[in-house]
Amino acid sequence: MSFQNPRGLWLLLGIPVLILIWLIRQQHENRRVSSSYIWRLSDRFLKRRLPLSRFRRWLVFLLQLLLVAGGAFLAARPVLDHGAQVDYLIILDASASMQTKTEGGDTRYETAVGMVRALSKEVSDGHTMSVVLAGEQAEYLLADASSRQEVLSALDASSCGWGGCALSGAMTLAQLFLYEHPGAEVILYTDQTVEEAEEITVVRLGGEEWNAALTRFSVQQDGEGGADLTAALTSHGQDAQIAVGLYVDGRLAEVVNYACRADTPAQVRFHVDDLKAVASFALAIDPGDALAEDNRIVYFPENERPCDTLLVTQTPFYLETALDALGRGEVRLAATETEILPSGYDLCVFDGFVPDTFPQAGAIFLVNPPAMPDGLTLRGVSEEPVSLTASAAGSVFLDKLLANMTLGETVVAKHAVVDATDDWTTVCSAAGDPVLLARNLENGCALVVLLFDLHDANLPLQTDFLHLLRNVMNLATPSLLERRILTVGETQTVTLLPNAAPVVITAPDGTVTEIGEAGDTKLAVSLPGAYPLVTEDEEAGFFAVIPEEESAPAQTASLTLIREESDSKTAPEEATEGIWRIAALILLAILLTEWGIYVYEQH
């Protein structure tokens, strides 16, 4: 038997106090009387007493002791460990950090599973066990198992993930479990440091192992075909001298040694001259640490898709020059729409012109349209020079259209002032007026509108103009992969163009996935490592890293579960209630006996 509130046992100190008071009361006060003759004579007139009544003082005393002991017992909230059913809820941290190897050779997760296996012996004693895996998501591995074999089988089938730890989700499940099983015992096995835990037992695993990690990888192109590859190198737990290697197409190209201070990220930087000439770059360390999956990052450079463009303009200078400079395929120039049917192009750019009908595929870019498309209402023209500013992030259009743009010194001398309906996304504004907007048409085409003449702004003279056109092209011919580097647990979007050949993706564990359907295909990434893609036209790939916080065990301030007092521990409460009933019956019997003695003596 254990006690939920052992402080209640302090009430037992009342017993010696009670005994002391009783002993003191047992003392006879010395009283001098003239003669004890009549007192002695009164013995024969004292009514005959029941044998039990001789012990009445003892009974009252025992009653008091029982009350004090019972009160202390109930205040301590006893829990019967044996004989009563206890529901265990095990939360297993299944995040990437739990894959860290311990000194014994097992991973932290394997150690945790071993501990749960040992605990599962109690399941055969009438307890039940439920297991929640707190990986990228928190989910039940096992619910209310009443046999040990069931638990062992589920544990054998379980595996630790490579994503983060959905601890809050697991706590939500635990709280719901506690509502249904108020007497349950919740145990969390994790490598996180929990400063304060309430109604949950935290078993911490590992945390002392050394781990070095490469994180925060980024590629910064220099505009000349080259790029800077940067990453953060962190040695968690101790100072270390770590060699970082740059691998180009799988071959070691450069090695740099970094002196890392414990838990302080060091900046790793490599320069690559020709990004497009290489299929993949990799940064790697091999320090022999406890977790290998954060020691390597592979980057597959992106090859832009060709984008056939129709340019309809009376003043083609800026646009044509820029489009040619981008080199993304053929650019057809037309003075009016009627000259060339706007079909068969990935991108149609209409400068100072609005066609009667929009193309049915690709993207449309309207520059300084004389008439506003649906959803835009012209209110007037502003001729005050103002700077161009980007809208706040949060939209797909914003991310895609403003990629690599700085908009630092872009000034617009004259722009149209419009009112836009909600289906338009404002990408850039001038003095609060939207000047670059985008929306998706009903046929799936993307429509981008620039509400000023290129001659009324310095935009064509800046690099941002090229970036804008490239981004519009990317909108028309999206990249095969949404991202080249992503984190385990995130979703990769594979965009296959119509009539394109199927894509074959090979996961780090060798699993092959083939995508043949045109359009966007979502691919859940659950394993860290390189995911090479093979298509008919190109070779590409992406890399999945583990969450940065998994390289070092995190710290959690507090975990709190609420156990409803009134329904505290169903099974133990039943046992306690049984004891309480027996105690109450005993007390009732004593009280009735006392009353009977009183009535007998009265009559």
Partner 1 sequence: MANRQLIDDGTVALLESRDLNIRSLMAGLFGGNRRSGHFGSSMEFADYRPYTPGDDLRRIDWKLYGRLDQYFVKLFTDERRQHHRIYIDGSASMAWGEPEKHLTALRLAALIGYLAVSGTDRVTWYALERTACRRVTETVSNREAWVLGLERLGELRCGGDTRMDVSVMRCTDPGYHDGVSFLISDFLTDRNWKGAVDWLLSRKREVCLIQVLSPDEIGPALNGRLFLNDTESVGEDDERNRRMEIGRDRLRAYAEAFRWLEDDIRSFCGARRVRFFMTSADAPISRILYDGAIRSEMMQ
Residue ranges that bind partner 1, judged by CB under 8 A: 25-47, 601
Q: CB of 592: closest distance to partner 1 in angstroms?
A: 20
Shortest Cβ 123–partner 1 spacing (Å): 59
Which residue lies nearer to partner 1 by CB, 62 or 341? 62
> With respect to partner 1, which residue has the nearer C-beta, 3 or 600?
600
Nearer to partner 1, 27 or 558 (CB): 27
Phi-psi region of 400 (alpha: psi -120 to 50; beta: other; left: phi over 0): alpha
How far apart, in Å, do the first and last CA atoms of the chain sit? 47
Residue 250 corresponds to which amino acid?
Answer: G
Supply the DSSP string of 265-317, one letter for each residue.
Answer: -EEEEEEES-STT-S-EEEEE----S--TTSEEEE-PPPPPP--EEEEES--H
Instruction: Give 339's contacts (C-beta < 8 A, 6+ positions apart).
Output: none
Q: How far is the CB of 567 from partner 1 (least distance, A)?
A: 48
- How near is the Cβ of 7 to partner 1 at its closest, in Å? 36
Nearer to partner 1, 33 or 392 (CB): 33
Supply the minimum distance, in Å, between the C-beta of residue 587 and partner 1.
Answer: 24
Interaxial angle between packed helices 56-75 and 570-602, expressed in degrees from 0 to 180 and rounded to the nearest 10: 160
Task: Give CA–CA dist 186/490, Å, rounded.
Answer: 29
Q: How far is the CB of 590 from partner 1 (least distance, A)?
A: 20
Cβ contact 319:311 at 8 Å? yes
444: left (phi over 0), alpha (psi -120 to 50) or beta: left
Closest CA to 148 of 168, 180, 172, 121: 121
Residue 155 is classified by DSSP as: H
> Which CB atom, from 25 or from 261, has the smaller least distance to partner 1?
25
562 by DSSP, 3-state: which? Answer: coil
**Which phi-psi region, left, alpha or beta, contains residue 536 (left: φ > 0; alpha: ψ -120 to 50)?**
alpha
Report the nearest approach of partner 1 to the CB of residue 40 (Å).
Answer: 6
The residue among 32 and 251 lying less far from partner 1, judged by its C-beta, is: 32
Comparing C-alpha atoms, which of 487, 507, 506, 533 is closest to residue 217?
A: 487
How many Cα atoms within 13 Å fall on the side-chain side of residue 592? Answer: 6
Cβ 34 to partner 1, closest distance in Å?
3
Instruction: Pick the closer one to partner 1 by CB: 29 or 509.
Output: 29
We find the least distance from the C-beta atom of residue 36 to partner 1, in angstroms, to be 4
Within 10 A of 251 (CB to CB), how many other CB atoms are there? 8
Burial pattern 388-414, b for ≥16 Cβ within 10 A else e, equals bebbeeeeebbebbbeebebeebebbb
Pairwise CA distance, residues 157 & 152, whole Å: 9
